[in-house]
Amino acid sequence: MKITETRIPDVKLIEPKVFGDERGFFMETWNEKAFHEAGIDATFVQDNHSRSIKNTLRGLHYQIKQPQGKLVRVTHGEVFDVAVDLRKDSPTFSQWVGEYLSEENNRMLWMPPGFAHGFLVISKTADFQYKCTDFYAPEYERTIMWNDESIGIEWNVKDVDSLLLSPKDLKGNGLIEAKPEINEYF
């Protein structure tokens, strides 16, 4: 398993070794010892699986009071996955990192608690699976607008009108509006 830092050092790109032959393949997606040696000390309490169609954009989601670390991967299709640093004292506060995750490249992305998370489906459909370090708590969930100019995520979207967003994601706050609450909890 190869674990490397991204532009935001606490966000890690994980590339598992894949062993395959004519019968199929095997890969290890979680190994507590290997992750610990790479500086990822996580205890997971919940696994999630979502399926989305092309041009679905989910996020940017985070939780206050119960922030979640996430280990994310794609088991079918391809997404552009994004993590935004919301930790107020971090030298990379408000910066983002994005990686393409797909069933072909088998990459995973780790983001510790204190990050907003979102993804854009590139393929016809995508199955997205992730492990969380805390339970989902809808009363603490918040959303930052996917296109907040102060963050400047380069989604590489040619036709913004083609994006599929939930009503919740359409009502997200800008980082400036969210900052007082972020500062209180992170």
pLDDT in tens, 74-110: 999 999 999 999 999 999 999 999 999 999 999 999 9
Residue 130 bears catalytic tag: yes
Residues 6+ apart with CB under 8 A from 120: 55, 56, 57, 79, 80, 82, 155, 157, 163
Among 36, 61, 117, 140, the one annotated catalytic: 61
Q: How confident is the model at residue 160 (pLDDT cuts 50, 70, 90)?
A: very high
Per-residue three-class SS string for 86-101: CCCCCCCCCCEEEEEE
Are 154 and 100 within 8 A, CB to CB?
no
Among 130, 136, 140, 185, the one annotated catalytic: 130
Residue 117 bears catalytic tag: no
CB atoms within 10 A of CB 47: 10
Tokens found for residue 149: 């100019």
Residue 126's pLDDT is what? Answer: 98
**Which domains are assigned to the chain?**
2-185 (2.60.120.10)
